[in-house]
Amino acid sequence: MQEATVEQAPTSSSEQPSTPSPQAPSHARSTFGLLWLSETAFDLGTTLVSFAVGVWIFSQSGSTQDYSLSVLAAALAAMLATPFAGAFADRYDRRWVVLCCDLGAIAGTFAIALALVYGRIGIAALYLYAAAASALGALRRPAIRVAISRFVPKDRFAQVGGLTGISRALVQVGAPTAAGFLMARLGLQGVMATQLCLLLAGAALVFAALTRAGDGVRGGEAVAAATLLGGARNSLGGAFDYLREQPLMRALLLYGALVQCLMVLATTLLTPMVLSTHSSDVLGLVMSVGIVGGLLGSVLVATAWIRRELMRWILVCDALQCAAVLVAGYATGPAWWCAAAFVCLFCGSTSVACSHALWMRKAPLSRQGSVFALIAASNMLVMCVVLLFGGWLADAVLEPALRESGALSATVGGWFGTGRGRGIGFLFFLSGAIGLTLTSIALGNRRLRRLETLVADRSDP
């Protein structure tokens, strides 16, 4: 990674006193609590519906491609919505931005539930619903993050990320079980009804939280006249301007996108790799152990109150995460897979929380929504690329090459093994090795390691 010059004077966030919250501590805690509950309800409903829709589509068509297309439609819709998300979060009252998104999600869910009741639903309608719900979530998320960054003290940003990671891990544990229970007894209609209740509760909570937070948190004080497309263009332009001004933050964005690409590539292929040689019970065990690791990583960040050396935490955790992926690819037994899944998600949740805290500290308040939207867009782009090419690379290239008579059986197969699942395992191994090399280069870059002190914290009003 190239060395980058920084035009701003070095300023250590750990040496400066934290900017006091505009609200009293107890008031800020209760406001954040309401927002946290709202986000948890929204994430739980989204995960429930995503799982249930996937099961319904597969049961109706029997095609894994149809299911993959629903995931791809959601990812593409979120990516296309993110430029507008930044403009909404920076230019308008965030209370109404979030409420409008919630009302749109409620209307869409009600329409699907009604269609299910009357038996007039098809796969295309669920594709459209998945895309619309994903786009609304992408529009909603930056507004919530900007609001939180305006009233939570800077030294608590990592803790906020840890708490968010805890709720996300709990949702990942509970949502599939709950969705399976509802699908077995009430069908997709029952899941949609549950989603409606969660959306209504989440909308009420977030509106109450942002109303009590005050005008400074809600935003929308001064909005220049511009069209929607013009606002989106200005929003993205502001984010790119900030990255041009701060080469180290640009390097962090590119580094994060590359690591994200490698991790998504590995995690999306975990299921076929395990199921190629073992039962679904083994897959459930590996995934459960991984989720526990992610939960404990989030608990660590939420309780340790990490305030400094965030960039070092990110790089070290990413290195361990990539090493775990490498081991998972080489291994062929459940014990090693469980250990690798635990380390990977433990370090991954810690790294994500610290990275979010770093962006919240550094991105200027006037362009924070735009920056968050750009980060989300880069992550969605990575996911789309992986969904399009990752499976093809494993199924069409590496799996045939590592069969017993394949093109790589005498070379790579000699030390990596041949047979079902070894092509996917080799892709895991390559992803981990490339990621480990990337993080090692980043750790060797002195300026990147010291990003937290070389890039000045945002200036608060």
Confidence class of residue 145 from pLDDT cuts 50, 70 and 90?
confident
**pLDDT value at 4 more than 50:** no
- Residue 98 identity (one-letter amino acid): V
Q: For residue 436, how many other CB atoms are within 10 A of its CB?
A: 20
Q: Higher pLDDT residue, 215 or 157?
A: 157
C-alpha to C-alpha distance for 277 and 425, rounded to whole angstroms: 11
Under 8 Å CB-to-CB from 353, ≥6 apart: which residues? 158, 161, 162, 164, 165, 297, 298, 301, 302
> Is 195 a residue whose pLDDT tops 50?
yes
Segment 90-101 mean pLDDT: 83
Q: Is the pLDDT of residue 397 over 80?
A: yes
Q: What is the mean pLDDT of the segment spanning 225-245?
A: 70
**What is the four-CA torsion angle of 44, 47, 51, 53, rounded to 10 degrees?**
100
Binned at pLDDT 50, 70 and 90, residue 219 comes out as low
- For the segment 426-431, the average pLDDT, to the nearest whole number, is 87
Mean of the pLDDT values across residues 356-385? Answer: 80
Which residue carries 């609200």 as its tokens? Answer: 23
The residue ranking higher by pLDDT, 347 or 268, is 347
Give the separation between CA 142 and CA 356, rounded to whole angstroms.
12
The Cα–Cα gap between 149 and 372 comes to 11
CA-nearest of 396, 423, 395 to 409 is 423
Give the mean pLDDT of 171-177. Answer: 76
Is residue 426 within 8 Å of residue 402, measured between CB atoms?
A: yes
Confidence of residue 272 (pLDDT cuts 50, 70, 90): confident
User: What are the respective helix, strand and coil percentages of the chain, to the nearest 5?
Assistant: 80, 0, 20
Measured distance CA(263)–CA(91) in Å, rounded: 34
- Are the C-beta atoms of residues 456 and 8 closer than 8 Å to each other? yes
Q: State the sign of the Cα–Cα–Cα–Cα dihedral 226, 97, 364, 248.
A: negative
In 3D space, the residue among 389, 386, 405, 396 whose CA is nearest the CA of residue 423 turns out to be 396
Whether pLDDT at 339 is above 90: yes
CA separation for the pair 168, 428 (Å, rounded): 25
The 10 Å Cβ neighbour count of residue 144 is: 23
What local confidence, expressed as pLDDT, does residue 15 receive?
38
Residue 393 is given by DSSP the state: I
Q: Which residues contact 254 (CB under 8 A, 6 or more apart)?
A: none
Candidates 389, 406, 410, 386; CA nearest to 398 is 406
By C-alpha distance, which of 41, 66, 42 is closest to 55?
A: 66
Instruction: Share the mean pLDDT of the chain.
Output: 78
Q: Which residue has the higher pLDDT, 326 or 262?
A: 326
Residue 228: pLDDT band with limits 50, 70, 90: low
Share of the chain above pLDDT 90, in %: 6
Judged by DSSP in three states, 241 sits in: helix
- Distance, in Å, from the CA atom of 324 to the CA atom of 263, rounded to the nearest integer, reads 11
3-state secondary structure of 270: helix
Q: Are 301 and 445 in contact (CB under 8 A)?
A: no
Give the per-residue pLDDT at 12: 38
Helix (H) or strand (E) holding 400: helix 399-401
pLDDT band (50, 70, 90) for residue 191: confident
Angle (CA) 435 166 443, round 5° = 25
Instruction: Inform me whether the pLDDT recorded for 229 exceeds 70.
Output: no
pLDDT confidence of residue 324: 92
pTM given for the model = 0.71
At residue 225 the predicted structure's pLDDT band, cuts being 50, 70 and 90, is very low
pLDDT at 22: 45
DSSP secondary structure string for all residues of 281-302: HHHHHHHHHHHHHHHHHHHHHH
pLDDT at 45: 85
Cα(262)–Cα(244) distance, integer angstroms: 25
Mean pLDDT of 74-103: 82
What pLDDT sits at residue 1? 38
pLDDT over threshold 50, residue 11: no
CA distance 190 to 410: 53
Q: What is the mean pLDDT of residues 385-411?
A: 79
Evaluate if residue 423 carries a pLDDT over 60: yes
Phi, psi of 279 (to 5 degrees): -85, 170
Higher pLDDT, 416 or 322: 322
* Buried-state track 171-199, b at ≥16 Cβ within 10 A, e below 16: bbbebbebbeebbeeeebbbbbbbbbebb
Which domains, ranges and CATH numbers included, belong to the chain?
22-154+171-217 (1.20.1250.20), 235-461 (1.20.1250.20)
Q: Which pLDDT score is estimated for 142?
A: 83
What does the alpha-carbon distance between residue 438 and residue 444 come to, in Å, rounded to a whole number? 10
User: For residues 165 and 159, what is the distance between their CA atoms, to the nearest angstrom?
Assistant: 10
Res 338 pLDDT > 50: yes
Across the range 153-158, mean pLDDT stands at 75
User: Is the pLDDT confidence value at 345 over 60?
Assistant: yes
